[in-house]
Amino acid sequence: MIAAVENVHKRLGKVQALRGVSLDVREGELLALLGPNGAGKTTLVSLLVGLRAPDRGKVRLAGGDPRQPATRRVLGLTPQATGFPPALRVREVVELVRAHYSHPQPTDALLDRFGLGELAARNVQALSGGQARRLAVALAFAGNPRLAVLDEPTTGLDVESRRALWREIERFKQEGGTVLLTTHYLEEAEALADRVAVMNRGRVVSEGSPEAIKRRVGLKRVRFRAAERPELAGVERYEREGDLHTFWTADADALVRRIAEQGVAFADLEVLPISLEEAFLAVLDGEVQA
The site for another protein (CB under 8 A) is made up of 12-13, 49-52, 69-73, 75, 77, 79-80, 82-88, 92, 95-97, 99-101, 123, 139, 143
Element (H, E) at 69: none
Between 84 and 280, CB nearer to another protein: 84
Between 52 and 245, CB nearer to another protein: 52
Min CB(163)–another protein separation in Å: 26
CA distance linking residue 262 with residue 268, whole number of Å: 17
Which residues lie below 8 Å from residue 181, measured CB to CB, with a gap of 6+? 30, 31, 32, 33, 150, 153, 169, 188, 189, 192, 193
Phi, psi of 264 (to 5 degrees): -65, 135
Min CB(76)–another protein separation in Å: 9
Which residues lie below 8 Å from residue 129, measured CB to CB, with a gap of 6+? 81, 156
String of b and e for 220-245 (b: at least 16 CB within 10 Å)?
bbbbbebeeebebeeeeeeeeeeeeb
Q: What is the DSSP letter of 64?
A: B
Min CB(267)–another protein separation in Å: 54
Between 92 and 287, CB nearer to another protein: 92
Between 82 and 174, CB nearer to another protein: 82
Q: What is the DSSP letter of 22?
A: E
Between 37 and 82, CB nearer to another protein: 82
Min CB(41)–another protein separation in Å: 16
- Count of beta carbons in the 10 Å neighbourhood of residue 39: 23
Residues β-bridged to residue 64: 61
Min CB(280)–another protein separation in Å: 27
Between 154 and 206, CB nearer to another protein: 154
Between 102 and 289, CB nearer to another protein: 102
String of b and e for 166-190 (b: at least 16 CB within 10 Å)?
eebbeebbeeebbbbbbbebbebbb
Asked if 196 contacts 208 with a C-beta cutoff of 8 angstroms, the reply is yes
Residues β-bridged to residue 272: 221
Between 69 and 263, CB nearer to another protein: 69
CA distance linking residue 119 with residue 89, whole number of Å: 9
Min CB(202)–another protein separation in Å: 17
Min CB(129)–another protein separation in Å: 15
Min CB(149)–another protein separation in Å: 8
